[in-house]
Amino acid sequence: MRVLSGIQPTGRPHWGNYFGAITQYIALQKADQAFYFIANLHALTTIRDRDKLSQLTLDAAIDLLALGLDPEQATLFVQSDVPEVSELCWLLMTGAPMGLLERCHAYKDKKAKGLAAGVGLFSYPVLQSADILAYDSDTVPVGEDQVQHIEVCRDIAGSFNHQFGEVFVLPKAKVLDHTARVPGIDGEKMSKSYNNTLAVFESAKVQRKQIMRIPTDSRPLEDPKPPEGDVLYQLYSLVASDEDREQMAETYRRGNFGYGEVKKLLAAAAEAFFVEARERREQWASHPEDVRDVLAHGAAKARAKASAVLQRAQEACGIKGW
């Protein structure tokens, strides 16, 4: 199994990113071969500030390393450091149907809202397809909202294969565990778009203040409360041990407790849960040259594979080896 996934450097990771996706990426790195990249070319569709994009790209790499990505097991690199992917993207674009791209969610949703949509956003799924196909990836871990892009990739690759021979491996989506849905501090799905996140690497003091401000219902203290569906309990379940989680559930069902007590326990559990990752982040951040070495090594490995795939595609369609 060869796993491929990209993470856009558009902001610091929050609990939703970590529990909803990154933990599963880390688990998959042990399966066989895993390629993980910082998708800075994709980020250009939204970030138009050079210094900001550069810093966020480095931060994304540091965050992944701190959260458990092991460069001895997985290949970590920056998307733009593998120019073969951009070349492959053009080969795919020459046969990508307009109608297929017009139906893709990101472009379609932006147009529906009357917002300007550039060519980069329109062709985003083709570059994403090149990202996947360049490494002969057969498994792509994605959220349910990204499954469409894997289907687009399969369509584009299948069409190329039909015209020029069996060049590309057709990937399959590995839908990330739906049970890992993480509620935001307002009860909705945690998302930067909703401004309801808890950042993984926020200071314990700031995060405690955020947690203490989470709104709760107005039931009397003595009333039992079902833990299922309660935002505080759901967040606590993510960072607490099995034993502590069960004790909290019993407290909810018994009643005679205050939400302030739960919030304090949640803040303490979160601080303990992420303490090692925060320490690792400080170590990596204090040695950015080591991070760049990891990325350079990863890019060299990724380029070796992408070059072979690109040459295969170029020869198949007649622009090389004629």
Catalytic residues: 110, 189, 192
Q: Could you give the 3-state DSSP secondary structure of residue 304?
A: helix
Q: Which residue has the tokens 């994009």?
A: 53
Instruction: Give the C-alpha separation, 12 to 146, whole Å.
Output: 20
Cβ atoms 89, 156 nearer than 8 A: no
Judging by DSSP bridges, how do beta strands 33-38 and 172-175 pair with one another?
unpaired
* Count of all residues that appear for the chain in the document: 322
- The half-sphere exposure of 184 on its side-chain side, counting CA atoms within 13 A, is 12
Burial grade of 38 (CB within 10 A; 0-12, 13-18, 19 or more): buried
Nearest alpha carbon to residue 274 among 77, 13, 37, 74: 13
- The half-sphere exposure of 266 on its side-chain side, counting CA atoms within 13 A, is 25
Helix/strand number for the chain, H first, E second: 15, 5
Phi, psi at 185, each rounded to 5°: -70, -10
Phi, psi at 186, each rounded to 5°: -105, 5
Distance between alpha carbon 157 and the CA centroid of its chain, in Å? 23
